[in-house]
Amino acid sequence: MKKTGKGRASASEREGRPSLSVLPLEPDHGFSREFVAALISGHPEAFVITDKNFRVLFHSKKVSELFSKSENQLVSRSVFGTILRIPAGDLPVFREKLNNIEGHELSMKIGLPDNNTYAEVIISTLQGVHSGYFTFTIRPQQTDRPVIRASAGINPIETEGIDNELSMVIGQKRTDGGVLFSIIEALTHPFYLIDISSGKIVISNTAARDFEYSLKSSGCNMRHKPAFCAGDVSNCIHAAVRSTGSPVRVEHTYEKLNGEKVIHEVFGYPLPDDKGKPWLVVQYSIDITERIKNESALNEYRVITENLLKNIPGMAFRCLNERRWTMEYVSPGCKRLLGYRADELTGRGQIEFNSLILAEDRERVWAEIQTALQHHNFYRIDYHLVARNGRVKWVQESGRAIYDSNGFPVRIEGLITDITNLKTSDEKLQRELAVNQVIASAGLDLLKGRIRLPQLARMIQSHLASFTGSRLSYLLTHDKSGKFRIYCHSGGDEVSDGLLVTPERLKESIFGQFMDTTGPEIRNDINFKGALPCITRQSVDILRLLSVPAVIDKHSDALIILANSDKPYSQESIAVVQRFINLFALASFRLQAEEALREAKLKAEESDRLKSLFLSNMSHDLRTPMNAIVGFAEMLQDAELGRDEKDRFLDAIIKSGDSLLHLVNDIIDISKMEAGQLQLVLSDCDINALMDEIELTFRQELDRQGKTHVMFYIQKGIPDTSFMVHTDTIRIKQVLSNLIGNAIKFTDEGFIETGYRIDSGKLLFYVRDSGIGIPEEYQKLVFERFGQVKETVSRNISGTGLGLTISKNLVEMLGGKIWLDSFPDEGSTFWFTLPLKKMQANTKLQTLKSSGTHRPDLSDKCILVVEDVDTNYFYISSLLEKMNARVIRAANGRRAVEMCKTDSSINLVLMDIELPVLNGYEATREIKKLRPGLPVIAQTAFAMAGERERSEEAGCDEYLAKPIRKDDLLETISKFIS
């Protein structure tokens, strides 16, 4: 083995790889790689240099032309597979001959690709310290005449050979085809030989002369000129080599006559004479303009790529295609994905990536990837990875293979992304679909009467045990006897299903602490041991527990308790269980309602027709939303439904469920009245404002029903002022709405009038209509349950007939009474009284406050009222217009911002908070950015603690809580408009 200049074998030689470093290509030997490549490329003959393994290192252009092969088809490939076709059996002997020709030549003849000519190949070795490299000179022959060979072992690289050739060139000015001179002249790069003593150019090739002629100036313009620079690049190179005795390399920018600027890499090397003293300076330059541009573009691309890899959502990687998946590169995203740094997954001491794949996924991952790579396909696969913190993540890996020359996949490059949330969403969707299918099936069975409560309880408990992994389940519901009925589900235990238990006994058990709850509770560490009412064993161990009630009208109607699940209960568990217990409660209520209807029918045989009508209406009102629930629930069982269709069906089910719940609450209202459980909420009520709201609401209702020819009037007993009484505002409005709604239902022509007056120290309300009237024999029935009059059958009037019953009970609860005057075909008048409870202290305070209130002059003032509810807007605008204000309206927050931006005449804004498009707080913030000095007064129905602070934080200047009184509004406005 040859040694390097320092007497040591190179790393490439030790590893058995082809090396260029042992060729005379580095500055200490006089020539750079670029020079050698250019020198060989321009060789006038077909000339090849190979390494000791006969792999092509350099070749002249003539070789490519002669054998019709590209650069990639020649370089680094064996000369025997590209140029010399040696039979396989003769190849070992031929190689042995070549390895023994050092200092000699070997000549052979080969056929050329055109089959009409042949060539002589002269093979020799590079001499001296660079032995182990071979040269091949290929000379085409037309006839069998003797071949004229070049000098043995052409070696344009050796210093000694160059010296001899230069002697001939300098001494004789040879141009007769000397090999080196021919090579220099054929070079496409500027080349000079400079006398080191005088600095005169001895030889320059055509490329150098052409280049000089194209330049605007050849002066040296290097940024950091050496002190010995003589003002010319060649002089500068010569001076630098002469003063240092070492090779010089500079990058120099030349300007051509056409203004184009080119960058050249200029090299200068000293050549010693036979005594070792510097004799000549070799100077040549290579145009590297494109390379510089490419390097700049490459650096920019590298920066962009690095930034992209840093920010890409996931981990880009390159690894070996072997079972350990040894990583050669991973992007910084590995830290976010797995918690490991890039250097922990690559390099020495790396964490084996295969060990991070969940054990049960490893074989599948290997098999699926290899199958794809064998078919040269891009692959995508989902599997689990275990992060540093132990968390198991779903990931998706996409990648492709890098193949070797034999087509074997040696490496893989790709991207791994976290899809845990996506997978979790899919799993939740599947669970949601399963729950919906069960609920749909149960609802269908319930509607068709194919299931009763005990069967429904067992079905619900069985499915919940499966969904939550619970081993114990207890479903409690109220029984009409006043006791609790318990449905038990316990794997392996003997149970008493449907057992009736007294409230006292229930409170003594673990169930007692959950009986009165109105919300779900999770106890994942309860660790209870004791007896349970429905299980015959003496003691039961409960480690974790979930309690979920079904709450109707703020009271628990049913309760389910699940225990001893495989894993802790969660909010997701609550969501699933809540839907099942709600289904049971609604089913229980429906069955109870049906039973109550049957009993009522038996007790009121004298009014069978009216009760049948009630049952028909009730069934209609119950079945209408139930029909949507069941219909869409059945459609959800179709496995081919798309996601959008499922969402629409679920939305319809939810809305229909809400409608059904509203009907249930109405029925519960009257049931609670009869049980004395309905609670009143007393507060100050502005009767006149209430009447205004009633008028607006029912004028719109008449329009909606197409009864615009029916006149509607209101009469205020105390007009033009607010009239405050202490009562339940909501319930008074409910009574008036029921009575007016009845009047609209039975009045097709004429009028409807409502009003109040003070009579004998009481408030007397009335609702009068010119409708069909009620015969005397039926007048006592109208306030009874199910008491619609017979004419409603022919008129096809819908309704349950509970409105008047509810009104009667509400009036009596408020301390008044209700009655009617009616004549068939003339109309009816419903009367009711209420106690006149005026708060004297508050009245005086109100009077004083009103008398002292400054009434601002709002003439020529523009007030923007931001309000989406028509009644609220009309109330406020009426007050303001009486004060001569110009009132404009915005029905949503976004419109309010636009109006404040474009209309500078606005002096004040009354801002509602609960608005469509953009809520009042956000709208106020934007308005204050546009017009900081414009007063904004919040007016909201939210009267909870902290609401004033929220309005101030949003930028509101003042705050008013609904209902808004006239004096309060005017006093507040007067703070900002005098």
Question: Residues 198-207: what's their mean pLDDT?
Answer: 83
Segment 449-500, tens digit of pLDDT: 677 777 788 888 887 887 888 888 888 887 777 788 888 877 655 455 677 8
- Tell me, what amino acid is at 603? K
Segment 939-972, tens digit of pLDDT: 987 645 467 788 889 999 998 877 677 888 888 9
Asked if 537 and 559 count as a contact pair (C-beta separation under 8 A), the reply is no
Between 562 and 446, the higher pLDDT residue = 562
Residues 6+ apart with CB under 8 A from 889: 864, 865, 866, 867, 873, 877
- Tell me, what amino acid is at 289? T
Consecutive H or E run containing 353: none
**Confidence (pLDDT) at 356:** 95
State how far the Cα of 801 lies from the Cα of 793, in Å rounded to an integer: 12
State how far the Cα of 437 lies from the Cα of 712, in Å rounded to an integer: 50
Asked if 464 and 562 count as a contact pair (C-beta separation under 8 A), the reply is yes
3-state secondary structure of 318: strand
Give the CA angle between residues 557, 483, 806 to the nearest 5°: 50
In this structure, which topology does domain 11-165 adopt according to CATH? Beta-Lactamase (3.30.450)
Beta strands in 341-423 (DSSP E): 379-386, 392-403, 409-418
Token digits of residue 703: 């329009």
Q: Is the predicted pLDDT of residue 436 greater than 60, yes or no?
A: yes
Query: With bands split at pLDDT 50, 70 and 90, how would you rate the model's confidence at 903?
Result: very high
Greatest extent of the chain over all pairs of C-alpha atoms, in Å = 149
Query: With bands split at pLDDT 50, 70 and 90, how would you rate the model's confidence at 381?
Result: very high
Consecutive H or E run containing 436: helix 420-447
Segment 631-647, tens digit of pLDDT: 777 888 887 888 888 88
Question: Residues 596-602: what's their mean pLDDT?
Answer: 73
State how far the Cα of 669 lies from the Cα of 622, in Å rounded to an integer: 16
* Range with the largest mean pLDDT of 6-15, 117-126, 365-374: 365-374
Q: What is the dihedral of CA 147, 153, 154, 159, to 10 degrees?
A: -160
Bridge partners (DSSP) of residue 835 are: 762
3-state secondary structure of 953: helix
**Confidence (pLDDT) at 849:** 39
State how far the Cα of 29 lies from the Cα of 24, in Å rounded to an integer: 5
What is each CA distance from 216 to 189, 231, 266, 361, in whole angstroms?
A: 18, 15, 18, 70
* Range with the largest mean pLDDT of 37-41, 85-89, 235-239, 656-660: 235-239
State how far the Cα of 83 lies from the Cα of 63, in Å rounded to an integer: 9
3-state helix, strand, coil in the chain (%, to 5): 40, 25, 35
Query: With bands split at pLDDT 50, 70 and 90, how would you rate the model's confidence at 10?
Result: very low
**Confidence (pLDDT) at 664:** 65
Segment 514-531, tens digit of pLDDT: 877 778 888 888 777 777
Same-fold call for 439-553+565-603 versus 683-840: no
What is each CA distance from 66 to 108, 121, 139, 147, in whole angstroms?
A: 17, 13, 10, 18
**Confidence (pLDDT) at 354:** 93
What is each CA distance from 601 to 447, 594, 608, 785, 809, in whole angstroms?
A: 21, 10, 7, 11, 22
State how far the Cα of 280 lies from the Cα of 496, in Å rounded to an integer: 114
Consecutive H or E run containing 285: strand 278-287
Token digits of residue 664: 């249930």
State how far the Cα of 704 lies from the Cα of 890, in Å rounded to an integer: 24
Q: What is the DSSP letter of 146?
A: P
Domain ranges across the chain:
11-165, 188-293, 313-424, 439-553+565-603, 683-840, 853-974
958-961/936-940 β-pairing = parallel
Q: Is the predicted pLDDT of residue 156 greater than 50, yes or no?
A: no
Segment 248-304, tens digit of pLDDT: 888 888 888 888 888 888 888 888 877 778 888 888 888 888 888 887 777 776 676
- Main-chain dihedrals φ then ψ at residue 691, nearest 5 degrees: -65, -40
**In the chain, what percentage of residues exceed pLDDT 90?**
18
Location of structure tokens 């002059």? 857
Asked if 568 and 750 count as a contact pair (C-beta separation under 8 A), the reply is no
**Confidence (pLDDT) at 539:** 72
CATH of domain 683-840: 3.30.565.10
**Confidence (pLDDT) at 908:** 94
Q: What is the dihedral of CA 486, 488, 493, 496, to 10 degrees?
A: 40
Taking all residues of the chain, what is their mean pLDDT, rounded to a whole number? 76
What is each CA distance from 283 to 224, 255, 259, 877, 942, in whole angstroms?
A: 20, 19, 25, 96, 90
Rg (CA), the chain: 50
**In the chain, what percentage of residues exceed pLDDT 70?**
75
Query: With bands split at pLDDT 50, 70 and 90, how would you rate the model's confidence at 172?
Result: very low
DSSP symbols for 831-900 = EEEEE----HHHHHHHHHHHHT------TT-EEEEE-S-HHHHHHHHHHHHHTT-EEEEESSHHHHHHHH
- Main-chain dihedrals φ then ψ at residue 511, nearest 5 degrees: -70, -25
Segment 735-792, tens digit of pLDDT: 998 899 889 988 988 999 999 999 888 999 999 999 888 888 788 778 876 555 444 4
Q: Give the CATH architecture of domain 853-974.
A: 3-Layer(aba) Sandwich (3.40)
Buried-state track 702-724, b at ≥16 Cβ within 10 A, e below 16 = beeeebeebebebeebeeeebbb
Q: Does domain 313-424 have CATH number 3.40.640.10?
A: no
**Confidence (pLDDT) at 138:** 86
Q: What's the CATH superfamily of 188-293?
A: PAS domain (3.30.450.20)
In this structure, which topology does domain 439-553+565-603 adopt according to CATH? Beta-Lactamase (3.30.450)
State how far the Cα of 63 lies from the Cα of 46, in Å rounded to an integer: 5
Segment 601-624, tens digit of pLDDT: 766 665 565 556 555 566 656 766
Q: How many CA atoms lie within 13 A of 606 on its CB side?
A: 3
**Confidence (pLDDT) at 776:** 84
Backbone CA torsion sign across 378, 381, 386, 388 = positive
**Distance of alpha carbon 816 from its chain centroid, rounded?**
60
Count Cβ atoms below 10 Å from residue 101 Cβ, excluding itself. Answer: 14
Least confident range of 685-694, 817-826, 964-973: 964-973
Beta strands in 167-277 (DSSP E): 191-195, 201-204, 215-217, 248-256, 261-272
Q: Is the predicted pLDDT of residue 193 greater than 70, yes or no?
A: yes
State how far the Cα of 334 lies from the Cα of 341, in Å rounded to an integer: 6
